[in-house]
Amino acid sequence: MKIGIIGAGNMGSGLGKFWAQKGHQLMFSYSRNAAKLQRVAEAIGSNATVGTPAEAVQFADVVLLSVPYSAIADALKAAGSLYGKILFSCVNALLPDMSGMAVGTTTSAAEEIAKLAPGARVVEAFSLFAEVLDSPSQRFDDQIATTLYTGDDEAAKQGVASLLREIDVEVVDAGGLKNSRFVEPAVMLLIQLAYVQNMGQVGFKLLKR
């Protein structure tokens, strides 16, 4: 698969590393520092190139949006039309200082992104914390973490779910994009547990019976 990545920070490079190892081709984009973007691609290897956000969209079967919430409007403007594209967002609506959420329960980062990218087939999933992605194993002892994904386009959701499985998580369909209103605050709770309560590396596990 060809994956265009908008935002090559912790998540863009962390997820990209897995996908390159699985043989996907990547194009990284959107940095205030061109040399940094180039270094990220070089570290990943021959499966990765760099381009502008618009070039990454043209190149891609799936576009990963992995920028801070405060940058979504600028990033999507630079991306141009995403009509018909699968847009995999891992953006949570965090305030820049992570003290709270910019939106929540009445709308979501995912829904705001969908409004800014008309016709895009938006799927949201957070996968794992960047520190967990960057670890030798993504498991918690022998447990596989659960990643919830939301979206309104079934085929797009299946495409994103298959990319998520490649990072060794259990994927659970959490319904339509509207449910991101509830998933995003739940992920904020994990952030509080990890960084404010100092619990270290944490993840979700959904139990069912």
Binding site for ligand NAP (CB under 6 A): 7-12, 30-33, 36, 66-69, 71, 74, 90-92, 94, 126, 129-130
Find the shortest distance in angstroms from Cβ 46 to ligand NAP: 21
Q: Which amino acid, 200?
A: G
* Element (DSSP H or E) covering residue 48: strand 48-50
- In sequence order, the 6+-apart residues with CB closer than 8 A to the CB of 170 are 144, 145, 146, 147, 206
Is residue 130 packed enough to be buried (19+ CB in 10 Å), middle (13-18) or exposed (0-12)?
middle
Q: Which is nearer to ligand NAP, 84 or 204 (CB)?
A: 204
Minimal CB distance residue for ligand NAP: 9
Find the shortest distance in angstroms from Cβ 39 to ligand NAP: 10
- In sequence order, the 6+-apart residues with CB closer than 8 A to the CB of 22 are 166
Find the shortest distance in angstroms from Cβ 209 to ligand NAP: 28
Q: Which is nearer to ligand NAP, 64 or 156 (CB)?
A: 64
Q: Which is nearer to ligand NAP, 50 or 155 (CB)?
A: 50
Find the shortest distance in angstroms from Cβ 147 to ligand NAP: 10
